[in-house]
Structure 1
Amino acid sequence: MNWQKILFPILAGVALVAAWQGYGWGGVALVGGAIVMYLLLHFNRLMHVIKKAADRPKGYVGSAVMLNAKLKPGVNLMHVMALTESLGEPLTPEGAQPEIFRWTDRSQSSVTCEFARGKLVKWTLYRPPGDEAAAP
């Protein structure tokens, strides 16, 4: 069970009740405004990431090696999309768990990421043979 999805509404409700008991309608307005601002900031970030990803080819990343270095276990798919500025090429059918996506760069190096319930579990960097010889 994902507690983050449940925890925010509970904390928001507790904050609203505490604001009502402590400051009346002014406190409710202040806490309600802070909650709406928090939600708008997250919505704005989501739209920004999706807009950037819509302008790039699906499954493309500037450098697969740099993406591999920046990835950390537990980050969500939106964070990886923000790093790559691209939607990943899906390797599993829609709705299947775990979800697997691939991002490839110009040199055909690729990073394959596995997400379980939206969180990054593991990833693999693939570099084509002969790629090391081309490096100075």
Structure 2
Amino acid sequence: MNLRNILVPVLVIGLLWVGHRTYGWAGVAAVGGGVVMWLLLHFTRMMNVLRRAADRPIGHVSSAVMLHARLQPGMALMQVIAMTRSLGQLQSPADMQPEIYRWTDTSGTQVDCEFRHGKLVQWQLQRPAQPDISTEDAAAPASTP
């Protein structure tokens, strides 16, 4: 169980109680207004991130190598979506943990990110297979002008 699921409501109730004890119902109204403002700020940020992501193809990123370099353990899925400006292509079964999302760039390079409970735990970069040019050149006959 996530400790944040318990601490945030307890903190809000504690702030409401302190506001009531200190300033009466005016304190409750002030603390309640602050909590509503905090919720609206987070909701607005989430909607802006999702609106930007809706304008791009699912699972597409401009540079998978740069994404791979910027990822850090513990990042929230919403932070990764904001960074890529694209929703990841879901690779794991729906509603199952861990969730694996894939982002691909135009060269075919892919980044697979594994999220547990919305937090990034590991990721890996996969480059497309490149043909071995040296063996193809050796097999081709040399042309003479």
| TM-score, length basis structure 1 | 0.92
Matched, 1:38 2:44: no
Pairs within 5 Å for 1:13-28: 13-28=13-28
Give a deviation string over 1:45-96, Cα, whole Å, max 9, x none.
1101111111110000111111111111111111110011111011111011
Distance 1:125 1:95 in 2: 24
Q: Which residue does 1:78 correspond to in 2?
A: 78
Moved over 6 A (4+): none
Matched, 1:48 2:60: no
Q: Which runs of 5+ in 2 are unaligned?
A: 134-145
Instruction: Indicate the structure (1 or 2) with the bigger Cα radius of gyration.
Output: 2
Shift of 1:129: 3.6
Pairs within 5 Å for 1:1-136: 1-130=1-130
Q: How many residues get paired?
A: 132
Distance 1:46 1:7 in 2: 22
Shift of 1:105: 0.5
**SS of the residue aligned with 1:96?**
coil
Q: Which runs of 5+ in 1 are unaligned?
A: none
Distance 1:45 1:3 in 2: 23
CA RMSD of aligned residues (A): 1.5
User: Sequence identity of aligned pairs in percent?
Assistant: 55
